[in-house]
Amino acid sequence: MKLTRFFLSELRFSSYALQRCICFSINAVRRVPDLCLTRSAATCSTKCQTKSEDEEAEEASPKNSVEVFKRWGCKDSDLAKIFSRRPALRNASVALLHSKLTVLQNLGLNASHLVQIINCRPHFLSYSMNGSFDERMEYFTELFGSKEMVLKAIVGNPSLLRYDLHNKIKPVVALYESMGVNKQSFVQMLMSRPALIARTQFDDEKLEFIHKTGVPQSSKLYKYIVTIVGISKTETLLGKVANLEKFGFQEEEVWQLVGRSPYLLTLAVDKVQRNMTYVVGTLKLPASVVLSYPALIYASLEAVMKPRVLLAGKIDEMGLEPRIEGPSLLKVIKMSEKRMIKVFILCHPEDVAKELMEFYEKAKGLKRLAQASRKAVNQRFPF
The predicted pLDDT at position 197 comes to 95
Question: Higher pLDDT residue, 94 or 39?
Answer: 94
Encode pLDDT of 347-374 as tens digits. Answer: 999 999 999 999 999 998 876 544 444 5
Encode pLDDT of 81-136 as tens digits. Answer: 999 999 999 999 999 999 999 989 988 999 999 999 999 889 999 888 766 788 99
Encode pLDDT of 192-203 as tens digits. Answer: 998 899 999 999
Task: Give pTM, 2 decimals.
Answer: 0.75
- pLDDT at 7 exceeding the cut of 50: no
Mean pLDDT in residue range 12-40: 45
End-to-end Cα distance, the chain: 132
- pLDDT at 57 exceeding the cut of 60: no
Helix (H) and strand (E) counts for the chain?
A: 21, 0
C-alpha dihedral sign at 338, 343, 348, 352: negative
CB 165 within 8 A of CB 139: yes
Asked whether the bond before 322 is cis by omega within 30 degrees of 0, the reply is yes
What share of the chain has pLDDT > 70, as a percent?
Answer: 79
Q: What's the rounded Cα separation, in Å, for the pair 208 and 87?
A: 47
Minimal CA–CA distance to 86: which of 95, 99, 97, 72?
97
Domain boundaries, the chain: 63-130, 301-365
